[in-house]
Amino acid sequence: MKVTSTEFRKNLFQIVERALQGEFIEVAHKGRIVRLIPEVKTSKMARLVPRDTICGTIADLEKAQAELDLEMRTSWEEKWTPKP
């Protein structure tokens, strides 16, 4: 189906629905053609985004927190301890 940009604007939702049902749509605007095609549907698994996660036990997490606390405390003390 080929339509002008004016027709497309007037019947936007109907034309988009036809494209989603698989019909080939071309919109003519200022001498150029724009094609409207539906996106290829992908599975939900293909759309997953990898994320950083914590793998370990509660004990591992507590140990890492204690190490971080010690590192921050040491850094703070070096920065704020008065120098003679």
pLDDT of 44 reads: 79
pLDDT tens track for 71-81:
999 999 888 88
pTM: 0.45
pLDDT of 20 reads: 85
Q: Would you say 35 and 25 are in contact if contact means Cβ atoms under 8 Å apart?
A: yes
Asked whether the predicted pLDDT for residue 43 surpasses 80, the reply is no
pLDDT tens track for 2-42:
999 999 999 999 999 998 888 889 999 999 999 988 777 76
How far apart (Å, rounded) are the C-alpha atoms in residues 78 and 84?
13
